[in-house]
Every structure is written in structure tokens, then in C-alpha cells.
Structure 1
């Protein structure tokens, strides 16, 4: 029961961090400020690492019952969605860099 409580506290902290970094992401895209996209990317990497650790911990502590394995497959699907979102934000980060570079070149 202690492991479940610890996992829930970890997920609560990650969720609060997600709210802050998502707000920074939205503001960065609206104002075309690349630097505000980086915290979201870092937070997504942290999310993926935490979810992988939770999957391994769940399988080690609880075992490989059919219900647990199906829940783990669902979490793996969530990790894939997080990877996709992270790739989209990285491409936006690169696009904002190209736009800024083009503006600097056109001003000369």
C-alpha cells in the first residue's frame, strides 16, 4: 500500500509540473519565444522516465498478472502519445528558430 501511495504522490507532482510547463508552452508559441518551449520538452522527458520507472516498479512489485499487464500496455500507449507531443513541440521549436534566423537575415 505504501508503494501505491508513493506512486500517487509522484504522479500528483508530475501533474502540477505539467500545468506550469503547458502554460509556458502556450505562452511561448503565442509570443514566438523559443525559450519557453524548452521547459515543456524537459518535462516530457521527465514524464517518460517516470512512467517507465513506474511500469518496471509495478511489474516487479505486483507481478505479471493479466490485469496488470493490460494496464502496463495502456501506460505504454500513453508514453507513445507523450513522445509524439514532444516531437511536435521540438519541430515547433526548430520552426521558431528558422523564423527568427530569417528575420535577422532580412533585416541586414
Structure 2
């Protein structure tokens, strides 16, 4: 049994993807993703607290996402949820939610997209 957490996130890009090549020639992209849950209270819709993720993808998926997505685009992403922490210059520990994307693209419930190989 796997103890990883795979999730589907519907959200909006907070940054345009940045494509990076590592020292050993692997390619990945990273970008920020925001998602705000909505729920009904009686006849009204309410918004919950916005959650932010750092999204990362590798290889061909990274290339395709970086060519296709821009800041503000609505997306649906599937991936593995983790957290990354680091030590800041002032000695405190920072932490961020990370989604390592396995597939995803534009949210077609919110607009059109055109596929190209």
C-alpha cells in the first residue's frame, strides 16, 4: 500500500511556468497555483481561504505546461502532494505546499483550449 497523497486541484496560475534545466540535463518547470474553495450557505455562495501550492513537473510534461500555461489561466492538475521546508537566512524554517504534477491542463469548464503536437 502506498502512503503518498495524490490529489486533483482545480485552480488558477499565480505565476507563469518557468522552465529549468538541471546540471545533469533534466528539465523541469515550476509555478505557483492558487485554489479557493467555494461552498453554499443557504442560498448564498461563500469562499473559503485560498490555498497556495508550488507546482512542479518534469520532462515532456514540464515543456508542454511551460508552453501552454500563463499566469491567470484556470487549470486542473493531478499530482502528488508534499511539503518542502528550508532554512531561511535568519535561521527560521520556511515551508510550502508542493504539487508534483503527473498530468493537467486548462480547465475546460472555464474556457476553450486548442491542442497541438
TM-score normalised by structure 2 residue count: 0.23
The structure with the greater share of residues assigned to strand is 2
The structure with the greater share of residues assigned to helix is 1
Computing the radius of gyration from Cα coordinates, the structure with the larger value is 1
TM-score normalised by structure 1 residue count: 0.24
